[in-house]
Amino acid sequence: MLKRALTLFPLLTMLLLAQAPDPGALARKAVDLLLAGKYPEFLAGATAAVQKDLPETELVKLGALIKGYGAVQSIGETTVTKSGPNSIAMIPVKFANQNINFRVVINASGLMAGFFQLPGGVDWKRPEYSKPDSFKERAVTVGEGEWKLPGTLTVPVGAGPFPAVVLVHGSGPNDRDETVGGAKVFKDLAEGLASRGIVVLRYEKRTKMYGPRVAALGKFTVQEEVVEDAEKALALLRTQPEVNGQKVYLIGHSMGAYLAPRIAEADGKLAGMVLMAGNVRPMEDLLVEQAEYLGVKGNQMDTAKGLQAKVKKLEIGDEDSPALGGVPISYWVDLKEYHPDAAAKALGVPMLILQGERDYQVTMTDFGMWKATVGASKGVKLKSYPALNHLFVAGEGKSLPAEYAKAGHVAAAVIEDIAGFVK
């Protein structure tokens, strides 16, 4: 969860403001002030600590990012919900290039305890490589009981059985389409691969469906967040009549690729894996590298480096210590001795490892580490794409967060390369 805040959306900044009697009215006023660039007024009700952490200079940077979304076209109705002692107001704003939901948290003491910008809905348009007449979709359920997850099975038209893949999300509370800004990475993959004779299963991530319940566990790891559900999805896929159970693959993106070897080991039956922008280095190191890339300085950089140092010192037995970065210690400790490249090599299954060369979240450094460890192994293919970013969407120049706000699709070459590997 932390990784999503500092990677896919590194500028989802929490701001604190003073509360007005009506939480919804205060939230709307805050958004209006921010959009108008009235930063002193925006900060007027903030605590001293927040004013120190988020000076006006930082708000200017945030304002520049927001300008990249284009002109404001409309501001939707404010909705307010209760979460324990807090009130949470959500305000949807439609910009020319991107939809954003501003989320404002007001605490019980009368102070505004949070101000976030989150990706809003996008008007997804089918990419040219999707052939809707060549596949059909149906709803499925991954798992059962308290953690059951809704999913979508995309099935080619025609006589099966077909090879099949399960899509495993990146970090954060992802939906089944892996919607990130203006892209729907998994929807593109599902329709593109199904158009080429491959069954695809995608599903809502547990932290998307049951975020508060997962957080309430106190102690959890990637086992509960990712691995268990991926195992259940693979098992479900093999029961489908259209699927060739001997040709079931896993496609992991970002954190899903990082954890793919662990999932594959637990499953024990995979025909192969596709790793898209999978990191080899630990998350805490990526957080600092990304902060440096984005020019983060001052207290925010100190926080990132401080977190990195604390995680490095953790040992088994520290699980009862206070959370770090909003993540339980159990989560960090669980990954301390996990080396995905070594784990992948030990599996000996076919792999396709893909990397966007413009990706600043998981970089060519990690790609080089995969190559050094498994590049010479039988059945392993590696490919990088000069124009693609972390979402495997094409662009130019230095990749920045604002790029994700633009509508885009997974590159056709990626679809073709994966289809060729699986088939």
Asked if 390 contacts 376 with a C-beta cutoff of 8 angstroms, the reply is: no
Say if residue 407 is exposed, middle or buried (CB neighbours under 10 Å; 0-12, 13-18, 19+).
Answer: middle
DSSP per residue, 282-322: -HHHHHHHHHHHTT--HHHHHHHHHHHHHHHT--TT-TTSP
Asked if 277 contacts 359 with a C-beta cutoff of 8 angstroms, the reply is: yes
Strand 272-276 relative to strand 86-95: parallel, antiparallel, unpaired? unpaired
Give the dihedral of Cα atoms 232, 236, 238, 241; nearest 10 deg: 180
- Three-state secondary structure call for residue 14: coil
Other Cβ atoms less than 10 A from the Cβ of 224: the count is: 18
DSSP per residue, 173-213: S--TT-EETTEEHHHHHHHHHHTTT-EEEEE--HHHHSHHH
Strand 199-203 relative to strand 149-156: parallel, antiparallel, unpaired? antiparallel
Number of H helices, E strands in the chain: 18, 16
Asked if 91 contacts 114 with a C-beta cutoff of 8 angstroms, the reply is: no
Encoded amino acid at 347, one letter: L
Asked if 102 contacts 122 with a C-beta cutoff of 8 angstroms, the reply is: no
Asked if 334 contacts 224 with a C-beta cutoff of 8 angstroms, the reply is: no
Which residues are designated catalytic? Answer: 254, 359, 390
Asked if 116 contacts 179 with a C-beta cutoff of 8 angstroms, the reply is: no
Encoded amino acid at 34, one letter: L
Asked if 405 contacts 183 with a C-beta cutoff of 8 angstroms, the reply is: no
CA distance 355 to 76: 38
